[in-house]
Chains A and B, each alone.
Chain A
Amino acid sequence: MNSRTPDKAGVKLGMWLFLYTEIMLFGGLFILYAVYYSKYTGVFIEAGKSLDITIGALNTVILLVSSFTVASAITAVQKKAQRSAITLVGISMVFGVLFLVNKYFEWGHKFEAGIYPGSPDLSDAEAGKSLFFGLYYLITGLHGIHIIIGLILLSISLYFITTKRIHATRFAVLENSGLYWHLVDLIWVFIFPLFYLIL
């Protein structure tokens, strides 16, 4: 193997090792949620009802579809269909932006209703409620930052596909950006039932 040959297995293992740290990061936050859920079950269920299931479900569908288009973009690159790959990554990014727009309106409504970290309404409410919304803003906020990073990675991949630096024999950048995007989707799969669907 000469020095110009990329170490494909190593590149991918490195990405997965990073994803493991992300799993532990969000895993830790979910444990925090679980502990407080077991302590304030009733309050958490009441607070969860105030979240809009429609927006939550819509965002779930958006992320699932965008994950599908990113996975398909890799298939397209492997099949030397550069144009389809560009379209598919483009669609994924549009969906990513749509997710953030939804999130913006969702958070906006909550802010208007006086529910935000440190708000007088939450400070006066029972202990569990401020914990629920504190965790809601922390976890969905951190997840939102991940979406933004994912969008940046996808745009870099898109640029590399158009400039033909990503092609059928070399697409590690797209593959790793895709892995990151799927991880963001994966985390949302747990956020959605825990915050929006608890009854």
Chain B
Amino acid sequence: MESSSHEHIISYAKLFGVLCSLLSFTAITIGVSRMDLGALNIWVAILIAACKASFILLFFMHLHYETRLLKITFVGTIGCLAILIGFVFWDISFR
């Protein structure tokens, strides 16, 4: 059986470090949103949100330490979501 995160202990210090990065990302996203970058604003906001989401998933949710099976199923889900987004926008942009 593959080793699971059940045995992996993440130190308080590391978790606190992740929290600090998440708070800094929040400050950055607020700061950037007050600048006028035109159409780029929304993309920067989504990019920063994706970075924050990755930190939460990898460390708070232990995904970094999980089995390959869990990682593959997670990436598969995001892949399905990406296909859904792709086809919806493909549809609406040619109406």
- Name A residues whose Cβ lies closer than 8 Å to a Cβ of B: 8-9, 12-13, 16-17, 20, 23-24, 27-28, 31, 34-35, 37-38, 53, 57, 60-61, 64-65, 67-68, 70-72, 75, 78-79, 175, 178-179, 182-183, 185-186, 189-190, 192-194, 197-199
Give the complex CA separation of A28 and B16 in angstroms.
32
A27: B residues at CB distance < 8 A: 81, 84-85
Chain A interface helix/strand/loop/mixed = helix
Establish whether residues B42 and A198, one from each chain, have CB atoms under 8 Å apart when the complex forms: yes
Please tell me the size bucket of the interface on B. Answer: 35 or more
Nearest 5 Cβ contacts at the A-B interface: A193-B45, A197-B33, A68-B19, A20-B77, A71-B60
Q: Decide: A75 near B30, CB < 8 A? Known: A189-B52, A197-B45.
A: no
Q: Decide: A199 near B41, CB < 8 A? Known: A24-B77, A35-B88.
A: yes
Shortest Cβ distance from A127 into chain B, in angstroms? 16
Q: Decide: A57 near B16, CB < 8 A? Known: A28-B84, A179-B61, A190-B49.
A: no
Interface residues of B in 34-52 (CB under 8 A from A): 34, 36, 41-42, 45-46, 48-49, 52
Establish whether residues B73 and A64, one from each chain, have CB atoms under 8 Å apart when the complex forms: no
Q: Decide: A75 near B56, CB < 8 A? Known: A12-B4, A64-B26, A68-B18.
A: no
The residue in chain A whose Cβ has the minimal distance to the Cβ of B80 is A24
- Name B residues whose Cβ lies closer than 8 Å to a Cβ of A: 1-2, 4, 6, 9-12, 15-16, 18-19, 22-23, 26, 29-30, 33-34, 36, 41-42, 45-46, 48-49, 52-53, 56-57, 59-61, 66-67, 69-70, 73-74, 77-78, 80-81, 84-85, 88-89, 92
B66: A residues at CB distance < 8 A: 12
Give the complex CA separation of A68 and B89 in angstroms.
36
Shortest Cβ distance from B26 into chain A, in angstroms? 5
Establish whether residues A35 and B92, one from each chain, have CB atoms under 8 Å apart when the complex forms: yes
Q: Decide: A78 near B81, CB < 8 A? Known: A9-B67, A31-B88, A189-B49.
A: no
Establish whether residues A68 and B16, one from each chain, have CB atoms under 8 Å apart when the complex forms: yes
Establish whether residues A182 and B48, one from each chain, have CB atoms under 8 Å apart when the complex forms: no
Shortest Cβ distance from B85 into chain A, in angstroms? 6
Cross-interface CB contact of A61 among B23, B69, B84, cutoff 8 Å: B23
Cross-interface CB contact of A17 among B22, B73, B81, cutoff 8 Å: B73
